[in-house]
Homo-oligomer: A and B are copies of this chain.
Amino acid sequence: MTAIFLASDHAGCQLKADIADFLTQAGHQVTDLGADGSASVDYPDFGYKLASSLKGDVAARGIAICGSGIGISIAANRFSWIRAALVHDVTNARLCREHNDANVLALGERVTGAIQAIDCVQAFLDTPFAGGRHQRRIDKLSDPKLES
């Protein structure tokens, strides 16, 4: 059982509900951070809520959804402890865990269908980080520095 936080804007609420059902049935502890879909909202607010919820909890996972997944993935990645991977298929959902130790899966409800998205969630949760040379790169993502 993994603690999983879900966040989306209005354009990701249906897929968020589908994923919540899937995760709950699989026995995970799911927290829905909104939006509730009743009004147009701004995806950065929900990306930032997700980042706040994951701060200091290395075992927790997040799933971030907007229309394309692009906006909310940019928002979540503003914070050094978030590694949000925008994926559209199972191969990339696997790679983001193996190589990037992603703790957030970003999806786009308007570009990826629900069945494929749920397969991505399954791969994201099932795949371990490969470590090795990848760890050094993860450490650098946790300590961003402007370089010239």
User: Nearest CB to that of A144 among chain B residues?
Assistant: B78
Q: A147-B45, A148-B52 are in contact. Are A85 and B74 (CB under 8 A)?
A: yes
The quantity of this chain's copies bound in the complex is 2
- Interface status of A48 (Cβ within 8 A of chain B): yes
- Interface status of A96 (Cβ within 8 A of chain B): yes
A37-70 residues at the B interface, CB under 8 angstroms: 40, 42-45, 48-49, 51-52, 55, 67-68, 70
- Interface status of A71 (Cβ within 8 A of chain B): yes
A93-110 residues at the B interface, CB under 8 angstroms: 95-96, 99-100, 102, 108
A12 shortest CB reach to chain B, Å: 13
- Interface status of A83 (Cβ within 8 A of chain B): yes
Q: Of the candidates B78, B85, B95, B111, which one forms a contact with A91 in the assembled complex, judged by CB atoms under 8 Å apart?
A: B111
| Stretch with Cβ within 8 A of B (4 or more), from A23-31, A115-123, A132-140 | A132-140
A71-94 residues at the B interface, CB under 8 angstroms: 71, 73-75, 77-80, 83-88, 91-92
A56 shortest CB reach to chain B, Å: 12
Give the complex CA separation of A111 and B83 in angstroms. 19
- Interface status of A141 (Cβ within 8 A of chain B): yes
User: Nearest CB to that of A110 among chain B residues?
Assistant: B95
